[in-house]
Amino acid sequence: MINKKLENELNKQMNAELYSAYLYLSMGAYLSKQNLNGFSHWMQIQFQEEQSHAMKLFQYILDRGGEVKLEKIEKPKTTWEGIVDVFDNIVKHESKITSMINSLVDVAMTEKDHATVAMMQWYVSEQVEEEASVSLLYDQLKLIEGKGPGLFMLDREANQRVFTPAPTK
Ligand code: FEO
């Protein structure tokens, strides 16, 4: 059985993952309006991945005999100042998520909840991968100043992205 403090932290993280999903979906809609359909697809895949991050926590809370508490999801922004600004926001957002995950692991360690420490290692590694992939895209977009033929090349590459769900166990 999970203790109340950790249950609360896990529910908070689940809400943050759902907000992330919402944010990427909003970015996907914005980028589609900019005719960047490849990047819009990329955001919609990220929307699915974030939902799966939330669902992994949902299942874990239940598996540990805890209570899932669905709170209000913050409203995401709906407009940005172009694709470079979108990725600038993503880099900052994912860095905030990494800090939240690290804090959650700190709490699990303090509470000596080894199962939660072990489960959260997946998120720790996932954040390394996410931060690396969004930073690379951000740097490439800055190199081409978010325009020209380079943008269409990156848009085509973004269109190739496939959905990889978080493992449920
Ligand atoms: Fe689920 Fe983008 O972190």
pLDDT band at 161 (very low <50, low <70, confident <90, very high): very high
Among all chains, which residue has been given the structure tokens 């005719």? Answer: 35
Average model confidence (pLDDT) across the chain: 97
From the CA of 127, how far away is ligand 1's center (Å)?
Answer: 7
Q: Mind listing the pLDDT tens digit for each residue in 22-59?
A: 999 999 999 999 999 999 999 999 999 999 999 999 99
Residue 122 in any domain: the answer is yes
72: domain range? 4-158
Nearest atom (ligand 1) to Cα of 46? 2
Residue 165 in any domain: the answer is no
From the CA of 95, how far away is ligand 1's center (Å)?
Answer: 10
pLDDT at 133 > cutoff 90: yes
Residue 169 in any domain: the answer is no
Residue 167 in any domain: the answer is no
From the CA of 111, how far away is ligand 1's center (Å)?
Answer: 24
Residue 39 in any domain: the answer is yes
From the CA of 13, how far away is ligand 1's center (Å)?
Answer: 10
- For ligand 1, atom 1: residue with the closest CA: 50
Confirm or reject: Cβ of 9 under 6 Å from ligand 1.
Answer: no
Q: Degrees (nearest 5) of the Cα angle 118, 120, 126?
A: 120
Name the residue type at position 17.
Answer: E
From the CA of 130, how far away is ligand 1's center (Å)?
Answer: 7
Per-residue model confidence (pLDDT) at position 55: 98
Q: Mind listing the pLDDT tens digit for each residue in 52-100?
A: 999 999 999 999 999 999 999 999 999 999 999 999 999 999 999 999 9
Domain with residue 141: its CATH number is 1.20.1260.10
Nearest atom (ligand 1) to Cα of 94? 2
* Element at 14 (helix H, strand E): helix 4-33
Largest CA distance in the chain: 55
Both tokens of 158, joined, read 């973004």
Domain count, the chain: 1
